[in-house]
């Protein structure tokens, strides 16, 4: 078994695709429409689906907002440097909700940004990824 994708429902598919490709460097891998059930899917990631876990964005036609509740945490993406990634993200106008720096109580370098729907994306510096909180 392997983890195939994480699905997020989004309010504006074009805006979300632009964010994940232009700002976070993903590739748009494929899209599909379900006319009968009135939704469109977009799959994005850093490599093909046969070898990478990817993101599935779901747009329900005519649905332009969701109640996200309090349960969803974040997606995490490994970057070369959270500092340079946040510099680039800041110039794109995307929202950085936690400035880059060591995680509280540890040394793993993290930052948090929000996607167009307000889903949180954690950025983790590669060299520190997987070192755990105490790393």
The residues in 54-93 that bind Ni ion, with binding defined as CB under 5 A, are 56
- Ramachandran assignment for 118, one of left (phi > 0), alpha (psi -120 to 50 degrees), beta (any other): left
- In this structure, the chain runs to a length of 135
What are residue 64's phi and psi, to 5 degrees? -115, 15
56 binds ligand LWWXVOTR (CB under 6 A): yes
Asked if residue 56 belongs to a known ligand binding site, the reply is yes
Q: Which does 52 bind (CB under 5 to 8 A by kind): Ni ion, ligand LWWXVOTR, none?
A: none
Token pair belonging to 60: 């329900």
The sign of the dihedral angle between the CA atoms of 90, 27, 60, 66 is negative
Q: Which does 9 bind (CB under 5 to 8 A by kind): Ni ion, ligand LWWXVOTR, none?
A: ligand LWWXVOTR
Using CB under 5 A, which of the segments 7-15, 18-26, 99-107, 123-131 binds Ni ion? Answer: 7-15
What residue is closest to ligand LWWXVOTR based on CB?
39
Alpha carbon dihedral 81, 85, 88, 89, in 10-degree steps, equals -160
Asked if residue 14 belongs to a known ligand binding site, the reply is no
Q: How many helices (H) and strands (E) does the chain have?
A: 2, 8
Residues forming the site for ligand LWWXVOTR (CB under 6 A): 7, 9, 37, 39, 41, 56, 58, 60
- The residues annotated as belonging to the active site are 122
Q: Binding site membership: which residues? A: 56, 74, 122
């Amino acid at each position: 078994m392997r983890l195939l994708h994480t699905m997020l429902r989004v309010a504006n598919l074009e805006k979300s695709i632009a964010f994940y490709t232009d700002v976070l460097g993903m590739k748009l891998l494929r899209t599909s429409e379900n006319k009968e059930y009135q939704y469109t899917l977009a799959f994005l990631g850093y490599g093909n689906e046969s070898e990478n876990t990817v993101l599935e964005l779901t747009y329900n036609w005519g649905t332009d907002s969701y109640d996200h509740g309090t349960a969803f945490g974040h997606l995490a993406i490994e970057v070369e440097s959270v500092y340079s990634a946040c510099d680039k993200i800041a110039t794109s106008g995307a929202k950085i909700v936690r400035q880059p720096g060591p995680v509280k109580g540890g040394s793993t370098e993290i930052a948090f940004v929000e996607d167009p729907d307000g889903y949180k994306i954690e950025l983790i510096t590669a060299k520190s990824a997987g070192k755990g909180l105490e790393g």
